[in-house]
Chains A and B, each alone.
Chain A
Amino acid sequence: MPTIELRCVSNYVFSNLNLEVFDGELLVVLGPNGAGKTTLLNIIAGLAKYKGAVLFDGVPVDKTPVNERQIGYIFQNLALFPHLDVASNVGYSLMIKGQEKEENMQKVDELLQLTKIEHLKDRYPKNLSGGEKQRVALARALASSPKVLLLDEPFNSLDIGMCECLRKEIRQVQREMGITTVFVTHNLADVAEMGNRVVVLNNGKIWLMPPEMFKKDGDNGNHIHHDCLHCVMDCYCKHAH
């Protein structure tokens, strides 16, 4: 049974969209700007209106409020709380649950350690670099022990070196924790390095693609090694037909 299932989902972007994300996998959704990638995540999170059904572990969650869906979401602009320091940002979900302060502190420390930002715990977001903010957003998303992790083009504003480093770290954390993850991107480099499965999203439709097709030069497999997303789109159309 898939952890996340979208059945005949329709809204202003999609018509009769079907998608399955399996337990513990990292699904990469690739698509150009305006393809509806963020809308797809918002549907899963319950932030966008839609017709059809979204199921978590086979149970419909269409009427489940956003704050009860047990989701970790890293937004494109990260949306850190500017008035809270790093430790409070990470511990926000624990604080609102009213857990014991000491218990919270312990979990926050563990997450800060996991994301390698324990030295930043007293800083405010305005005093962090792009990569550091990224790590805070990841730690905050993981703090609530989510069933599902949604990543919305989180490396957009980072340099290539930082992107590579964070890709590896996020992949490692995702594997260690075994969280079912949906990662949307328009960057082919993300696809090559991150996904278990890759789907391409364009014009409101989704196609499954083997990740080998996106391998870089020098890798094994039937790669297409295109750097241009539109070339990939052409290739995927042929593949689909």
Chain B
Amino acid sequence: MFIKRVFVGLIPVMVFILLWESIAQLNLVPNYIFPAFSDVMREFYQLIVSGILLANLLCSLSRVLIGFLLGAAAGIAVGIVMGSKDVIDKSFNPIFSILYPIPVLGWAPLLMIWIGINDLLPVALIFLCSFFPVLYNTITGIKSVDREVIKAARILGASDRKILSSVVLPLAVPNIFTGLRLEAGMAWRVVIAAEMVAIPTGIGALMMRSESLLRMDVIIVCLMVLSVMCLSFERFFQVMENRITNGWR
């Protein structure tokens, strides 16, 4: 059954690659504009062997990890406080409601002036991109916990803190993880944009350099790597969520 499913999933990919290779081999379009799949794979191998791809990937990965972890941690922490204390929610909600709709790249010019064009810029952008959605998902998760369940815990003798740690947070996990999963992919999109605009290292910067040299094969390799990284991050959180909520959802 599993083999059949994999096989069925692979057929469209194989057809796509075959079509791509055939069209490129027909030489209807110059190779530097539309490289063949085999050329892309060759370049992929070259980039790995030379260490260029890994070096740039590590730069981007470290920015994503730092920015995302800080943003998500802050989002969860503030979300817990706002979700469990109505007064704080009502006080801060207007500010966050104004800031949340601003597209994260809209902050770039401001941050360039405030913190300069350095490694901190993409980290700050990813922080902002992760913070707000995780914050709102955490608040929603906490507020959507059945009030009767909270009353039941209180009647059984639990203090506010115990209710938060043993009932509210575990039940908010699915919502929190939805935010983490969506923003993990988004963090990669943001880091690429930041590196394309301002930073000389990372996958985004490698793509910009390749564009100026008309190296479409390198750009396609970078896009493939990005796709794999976005999917891996999203999948990681999906697996984590399933593992944590295994059985009761």
Contacts and interface: CB of A to CB of B under 8 A. Distances in A.
A67 B248 contact: no
Contact of B157 (A67, A75, A82, A125): A67
Q: Which of A67, A68, A77 has the largest count of B CB atoms less than 10 A from its CB?
A: A67
Contacts of A66: 151, 154-155
Contacts, number: 70
Contacts of B167: 81, 83
A96 B247 contact: no
A97 B159 CA distance: 10
Interface string B91-134: 00000000000000000000000000000000000000000000
A85 B247 contact: yes
A143 B149 CA distance: 16
Interface residues of A, number: 29
Tell which of B157, B162, B247 has the most Cβ of chain A within 10 Å.
Answer: B157
Interface string B140-183: 00000010110111111111001000110011000000000000
Contacts of B166: 92, 95-96
Nearest to B174: A83
A187 interface: no
Interface in B169-222: 170-171
Nearest to A88: B166
A85 B148 CA distance: 18
15 contacts: A47-B154, A47-B155, A67-B158, A68-B157, A69-B155, A73-B151, A75-B151, A77-B148, A79-B152, A82-B171, A83-B167, A84-B248, A96-B159, A140-B156, A144-B156
